[in-house]
Each structure stands twice: as structure tokens, then as C-alpha cells.
A and B are shown apart, each in its own frame.
Chain A
């Protein structure tokens, strides 16, 4: 007989998730197929209009732009984070917990505060400009705040600790004899990295990348603060539909596509790490 007690322990969490996550998601799904009422309410007649509107070049373009910014942020975060995780894993064991603590430290401070800090840094009269003047730079610096670059910087900065943790896990588990074996068999340090270390740590990279991508593509705080009013990502668009345009059905339709993209990626990532961890112990 299988023990059913674990099921009992899961019930409160499952109930919570069902009530406050699954049900609202289903409501959003349903909402997407109704018409917007005249004064912002909902007109309960079925329609495909909202779904079709998502594919309008204007909105599809915002989707693509968001995906581009999220992808770029994820790529940069993975490169920086992997390098940092590699360095930490190469340090003496006893120093590693402290280094990880420092790497993750920014994460424990308020998201808004951290993002505002970047405004102070990137401002026209900000710290970076002052620093450049101090170093004798005379000319006009290109505008930094309220650009796509600023948004990418903000996203990378915010999610970097996650990537470091995700990459550190497989790197620290690596048996040092495995990399030595590669060297012993005639491989250079670079070949050893490319053919042994990197493939064995792909699950960490996939987790880190997916994480940053998923959190970035739906983000609306960072683009709003660091992108200014200049451009919109899907998060901002959804926010606007629900809270300013009062077009809940279209907001719902956008959300569904956003959720679908995220779910697709997470599923892919889970399969990828499952496959890669098939042979972890040699």
C-alpha cells in the first residue's frame, strides 16, 4: 500500500495555488474571448477579435521587441554569471559560501530601490557622467537613461544573482578528477572547458537563461523606470490594458500569449536538464 500521508501534507499548498493561481488564470483565459464593454466593462459575447489583435503588427512588434530585450539580457546575464560562478567554484572551498553570499546580497534589497539606484547612476547629471568629467572627458556623452540599453542593464543587474546560483550548483559538483582526466588525455585547458566542463554544466546555464528570459519578458517595472515612456514591453502593454485603457479582454489575450511563451520555455528547460542530468555520476 502506498503511503497517502504526503498527499495530506500537500493539500494546503495545493489549495492555495488552486484558489489564487489556477482559478485566476482560467478566468483570464475566459476573459480573452469576450468583447470589451462600452464603458470599460465586459460584454459577454464570444469573439476571436482579441486573439486576432495580438497578431496585429503593432502588438506583435512589441512581443518581438520584448523577446529581443529578454533574450539579450538573459545572454549577457548568463555570460557574466557563468564566469562569476566559475571563479567562485575555483576558489578554496572555505571561502565559497561567503563569496556566494556577496553575489546574492543585492537580491535581498528592494527591487524598486535597486532600479532607482540605476536612475541615479545613468542620469544626465548622474554619477557616471560626473565620473567621466572628473576623468577629463569633455564632449557630450550619449544619453544613457531611458534607452533600451538602460533597460537591459537593469534587467541583467537584477537577475544576475540567480544566474550565478544556477551555474554555481553544477560547477561546484564537478569532480576535479574529470577535468584532470581530460588534461591527462591530451586536451588543453580550453578544449577541456569546451568539451567537458561546459557540456556538464549545461543544465545550470539553461536554468539561468530561462529564468532571466521569463522574468524579463514579462517585466514592467524596469522598462517603465529605466526605459521611461519611450518604449513599451509586453508587461507595460498588459498593465496599460488592465489599468489605463480598461480593455480587460485584450489585456487577457496578451497575457495568455505571454504565459504560453513562458510555459513553453520552462517545459523545454525542464526536459533539457532532465536529459543532461541523465548521467551525472561517473
Chain B
């Protein structure tokens, strides 16, 4: 069931259009990610949902009711701020109780709900601490609890893991997903970290220059990007400049590249393939190309091989598992032959 509908949402700051005609449906219980670089309009969009910015045009329907003009304190929507924005003069328990006190709930209910959520985030022992006596990870969980305890229809999270170190971020990605499922609340996460979006979200929207570029499941977005920008923005992608003529793709040197060509595409184009789809065993590959190893980047679990080829201005990246890397024992300067199938090739207008 649709919980939130954005209809042609637009926001102008003076002459600058920060959000440009965004229309989007988000289902109940969905974990949704708004992914974009800084300046893409994702934060402005989130602030309109929270009520801190009024749209210049368009509607925000929550459960079918337009809330675009409703002040933030009257919306069943809560926001977890990027800076966490905890009240420094209140204890952890007081911070969490604040939103419930605003609802004028009886004291006993507030106490029990605060106690309950402190259990959930495993911070019961620190209930009387002040925010500045907590670690970054603990503060993050208090901020989450403070928003969650209100049981909003919609929880917005602004770069929720941005301030955490890498290891903790990995743990919290799973933790956030578990909490979202347990509470059954719709989450909208704003992030610039594509890996975070891929891991956590049920669906992702890529924003560019204030407009939606593509909306889909992580698998869709990763495997079937609909634009060159999306292909480049998510993960690593190898691009080959090509020319599309009469249903065939040729590189500048005349090499034929086999791929499914989108309808109506002619002229300058790019063929794209993911590093993990490239192979060193080229028997049965539709596309084959030779080059020279430029550099090896060891990542423990896998190894990225950067190969200089005549077909692309940038080195081509190929991803090998530890086993494959050992079997081939390549070093910089070695000649290599790479292959991939037509099925794994994406083609975009240049």
C-alpha cells in the first residue's frame, strides 16, 4: 500500500531550483534510499518531507492527505538529523522522553516506552548520561531511539551513518535494517554513499540536479542502469567510447562490440561493463580485448587489475577473486586478454 506520494514536487531558492519536479510513490514498510552527490537536492527533499522547507510547487501526500503546508510538529514524520542534534542539557532518557512529553502522554506510559526502547538499542545502563559522555555510535543510537519512540508513520534519516567509522558503519547498516523490520516503520534514508544504499534499501532513487534519474531495486540500479550517469555513480564501471551505426557498435579503431542496443540509438555512444563481469578465460566470450597490466590493487577478499587497452582512454578495471589472481600470477607490464559476454554489456547514449 502506498504510504507517501510526491506529486511534481519543486523547491526554488531564489533563482536556484533545488528540487525539480519529483514524483515518487513509497510503499508502507519500505526501506527507501535517496541517493545523490552533494547538491543533488536530496537534503532539500528530505527537509520538505520533515516540514522544514515549504515546497514551491507540488504536493506531499501522506496516507492520502496533503501535508506540504503542515508545520513539522504536527506531522506524523520524524527526522534523525545528520548531526544527531541531541539536547546537550538533557540526559539520554530525557532526550528520548521529550517527543512523548510533547504528545502529553501519561507519565507512566512515557517511562515504560523510554525504558523499552533503551533496551532495544542496548543503552539502558547509560540512561542518565549526558550526550557529551557518549561515544559517536551511542549518540547515533540515542538519536535513532528519540525519533523511533514516537512511532512515526515515516522515519527520515539524514546521512545516518556518515559520522561513524567504517567498521561500525557496516554493523549499523544491518542493525538499521533489523530495527526497520522489527518496528514496521517506513524508512527514508538520505545518503551519498552508494554502497550503503545498495546494502540497506529495498528501493533506491538516484537524484541528480534536483530531479529523479532512476528509481529501482538495488539489483535493478546496479545491473540495469538507465543512464551513463547512473552507471558511473553506482559501483565501478568500465566505459568504451563507441559509434552506433545500423545496429552495430564499433570502437574508434573499428573493433566490433557485441551488445543489445537500446531502440533508436544511433551515433556516439558508450558501451559499459562491470569489473566482475570481465574474465581472463576468454573462450566463449562475445567480446575480447587485449591490453597490458598497469597496476594491481589488492583488497584482501579480491584484487582489482587495472589494464591499459587501446579501446578506452581510462584503464579498464577487472575484478579477480583471490583464487583467480593466484592462478594467473600477473604483474605490471604483463600482456593480458580480457573477455566478456554481450549479455553483460550495457549501452548508453554518449
Bound CA span A200–B89, Å: 7
Q: Given the complex of chains A and B, what is the CA–CA distance between A261 and B148 in angstroms?
A: 50
Contacts of B98 in A (CB 8 A): 182, 185, 187, 195
B52 with A180: CB separation less than 8 A: yes
Counting chain A CB atoms within 10 Å of each CB, which of B87, B103, B132 scores highest?
B87
Residue of A nearest to B86 (CB): A282
Tell yes or no: B250 within 8 A of A by CB: no
B204 close to A (CB within 8 Å): no
Binary CB contact string for chain A from 177 to 217 against chain B (1 if under 8 A, 0 otherwise): 11011111111100100011001100000000000000000
The answer to whether A185 and B99 touch across the interface, beta carbons within 8 angstroms, is yes
- CB interface residues, B 133-166, toward A, < 8 Å: 133, 139, 146-147, 150
CB pair B87–A278 under 8 Å, yes or no, is no
**Could you tell me if B82 and A185 are in contact, using CB atoms closer than 8 angstroms?**
no
| Cβ contact of A175, chosen from B83, B103, B133, cutoff 8 A | B83
- Contact: B83 with A177, CB < 8 Å? yes
Bitwise interface map of B from 65 to 92 toward A, beta carbon under 8 Å scored 1, else 0: 0000001110000110111111111000
Number of interface residues of A (CB under 8 A): 23
Chain A residues near B82 (CB, 8 Å)?
Answer: 177
Assess whether B52 is in contact with A186, with CB atoms less than 8 Å apart: no
Task: Flag whether B50 is at the interface (Cβ < 8 A).
Answer: yes
- Restricting to A142-162, which residues have a CB under 8 Å from any CB of B? none
How distant is the Cα of A200 from the Cα of B85 in the complex, in angstroms?
13
Contact of A186 with B103 at beta-carbon distance under 8 Å, contacts A278-B130, A281-B132 already known: yes
- Asked if B89 and A178 make an inter-chain contact with CB atoms under 8 angstroms apart, the answer reads no
- In the assembled complex, the Cα of A195 lies from the Cα of B98 at a distance in Å of 10
Known A185-B99, A279-B132, A282-B83: A180·B72 in contact at CB below 8 Å = yes
A282 to B88, CA, bound (A): 5
Q: Which residues of B contact A280 (CB under 8 A)?
A: 88, 132
- Do B83 and A182 have beta carbons less than 8 Å apart? no
Interfacial chain A residues near B41, Cβ < 8 Å:
none
- Interfacial chain A residues near B150, Cβ < 8 Å: 185-186
State whether the Cβ of B301 lies closer than 8 Å to any Cβ in chain A: no
A268 within 8 A of B: no
CB-based contact A188/B89 at 8 Å: no
Contacts of A187 in B (CB 8 A): 73, 98, 102
A230 to chain B, nearest CB (A): 45
Whether B36 is near chain A, meaning CB under 8 Å from some CB there, is no
Cβ contact within 8 Å between A279 and B131: yes
**Contact yes or no, B73 A183, CB < 8 A:** yes
Docked CA distance A282–B72 (Å): 21
Q: Which of A186, A196, A279 contacts B99 (CB 8 A)?
A: A186
B:77-135 near A, CB below 8 Å: 78-79, 81-89, 98-99, 102-103, 130-133
Q: How many angstroms from the CA of A274 to the CA of B102 in the assembled complex?
A: 29
- Is there an interface contact between B85 and A175, defined as CB atoms closer than 8 Å? yes
User: B71 to A183, Cβ gap below 8 A?
Assistant: yes
Instruction: For the complex, give the distance between the alpha carbons of A278 and B129 in Å.
Output: 12
26 contacts between A and B (CB under 8 A): A175-B85, A177-B81, A177-B85, A178-B86, A180-B81, A182-B87, A182-B98, A183-B73, A184-B72, A184-B147, A185-B78, A185-B98, A185-B147, A185-B150, A186-B73, A186-B99, A188-B73, A191-B102, A195-B98, A199-B89, A278-B130, A279-B88, A279-B130, A280-B88, A282-B131, A282-B132
Interface residues of A (CB under 8 A from B): 175, 177-178, 180-188, 191, 195-196, 199-200, 276, 278-282
Residues of chain B touching chain A, judged by Cβ–Cβ distance below 8 Å, are 50-52, 71-73, 78-79, 81-89, 98-99, 102-103, 130-133, 139, 146-147, 150
Chain A to chain B: the 7 pairs with minimum beta-carbon distance, closest first: A186-B102, A185-B99, A177-B85, A181-B85, A282-B86, A279-B88, A279-B132
Given contacts A182-B87, A185-B147, A186-B73, 14 further A-B contacts (CB under 8 A): A177-B85, A178-B86, A178-B88, A180-B50, A180-B79, A181-B146, A183-B52, A183-B71, A183-B72, A184-B51, A184-B147, A185-B146, A280-B88, A282-B84
